[in-house]
Structure 1
Amino acid sequence: MNLYLVRHAHSVYTPDEMGRPLSERGFKDSKVVTELLKKEKIDYVFASPYKRAIQTVEGIATYINKEIKIVDTFKERVLAGKPVKDFTAAITKVWQDENFAWQGGESNKTAQKRATDSLFQVLDKYKGKNLVIGTHGNIMVLMMNYFDNRYGSEFWKRLEMPDVYKLSFEDNKLLEIKRIWKTY
């Protein structure tokens, strides 16, 4: 079974985190994501409730003629309860100490547990199927980090928008992680 984690394509910044849409470039790249995933025999598509994550994987859902299953816990990690003054310093701190959380935010450990609990539920329910999850950079890397700590903040900094990683499993045991974005 394969799980394809898809970081959303480039989006237009708005303060509306849930409703932020893809940019023109993001829509073009989402078409490439669709073409890439058409070759992978996808069975089901899941996404964060955020518009940009949904829009990035809409094409493959349409292609396989299935509705996107929205999973709230695949949304991006909450860094802090209100905007931080220095994003780089704030994000660096949570990656340095997995138990640290800014006021109103999630620690890496908390966000990772939230996402991986749902990930394992999906893997159990759809055993043997090829699944796509449209999600976000930080939470995607935290899910990957659960299985392999080589996926950390430096890896996150190098992610592209979009980016696609194939995680191959056998009985919920990770066998391999392979980047498939930019390999087409």
Structure 2
Amino acid sequence: MKTNLFFVRHAHSTYTTDELGRPLSERGFIDAEAVTEVLKTENIEHVISSPYKRAIQTVEGIASYINTEIEIVDGFKERTLSEESVDSFTDAITKVWEDPTFSWEGGESNLIAQKRGIEITFQTLEKYEGKNVVIGTHGNIMVLIMNHFDKKFDFTFWQELEMPDIYKLTFEIKNLVEVKRIWNRIDRGVSHDQTRTN
């Protein structure tokens, strides 16, 4: 029995220092509508989201369409990079990807964030076995989860993601058997296989 997890990286947001409450931008809302239209064709049965507002807003359209409540799951929130603001986001994020065990003060290393992401992914697979589930989430934690199954999903892969982006991960029990990018704001609906794993 196959389970499909549709990981949706949130749409573009309007920057504020309130990480939890940062909303989608005008462009983000437009793209979120497009995400909804794509997911309408995928027989979605459940919708999960990170507690961050921008992730919730990106998937609330499909939740409304299938008339279901969004299940808020803390484990799918973005990785915490640092407790305090960093001087250079690019330098800070590069460092944690170069050394998976390294973390900035108050932040999560790649290994710690990945462990969190995998634990909640496995819990989701058990809870919704055989279902089609949308997960509103974030770029770094999404790629760290994918990286657990296939190392080709790495820092370079993360850098090439769009806002929003949708990846369909197909599992047999807890084994990832297929990854397909089904939509992003550049391709506008063009589906193609990204990779297959056994």
Same fold (TM over 0.5): yes
Equivalent position of 2:145 in the other structure: 143
Matching residue's letter, 1:163: D
Equivalent position of 1:71 in the other structure: 73
Equivalent position of 1:11 in the other structure: 13
Question: What is the TM-score with the length of structure 2 in the denominator?
Answer: 0.91
Gaps of 5+ in 2: 191-198
Alignment of 1:1-184 (within 5 A): 1-181=3-183, 182=187, 183-184=189-190
Matching residue's letter, 1:42: I
Gaps of 5+ in 1: none
Q: Residue deviations 1:63-91, cap 9 Å, x none?
A: 11110000011110000110110111111
Shift of residue 35, structure 1, vs aligned partner:
0.5
Equivalent position of 2:194 in the other structure: none
CA distance in structure 2 between the partners assigned to 1:64 and 1:149 by the alignment? 34
Alignment coverage as a number of residue pairs = 184
Alignment partner of 2:151: what SS?
coil
Question: What is the TM-score with the length of structure 1 in the denominator?
Answer: 0.98
Q: Residue deviations 1:37-62, cap 9 Å, x none?
A: 01100010000000000000000000
Q: CA RMSD of the aligned region, Å?
A: 0.7
Matching residue's letter, 1:34: T
Aligned-pair identity (%)? 65
Q: Residue deviations 1:121-148, cap 9 Å, x none?
A: 0100110000010000111111111111
Shift of residue 12, structure 1, vs aligned partner:
0.3
Q: Residue deviations 1:93-113, cap 9 Å, x none?
A: 100111111111000000011
Structure 1 segments, 4+ long, off by >3 Å, are none
Matching residue's letter, 1:17: E
Matching residue's letter, 1:148: D
Alignment partner of 2:75: what SS?
helix
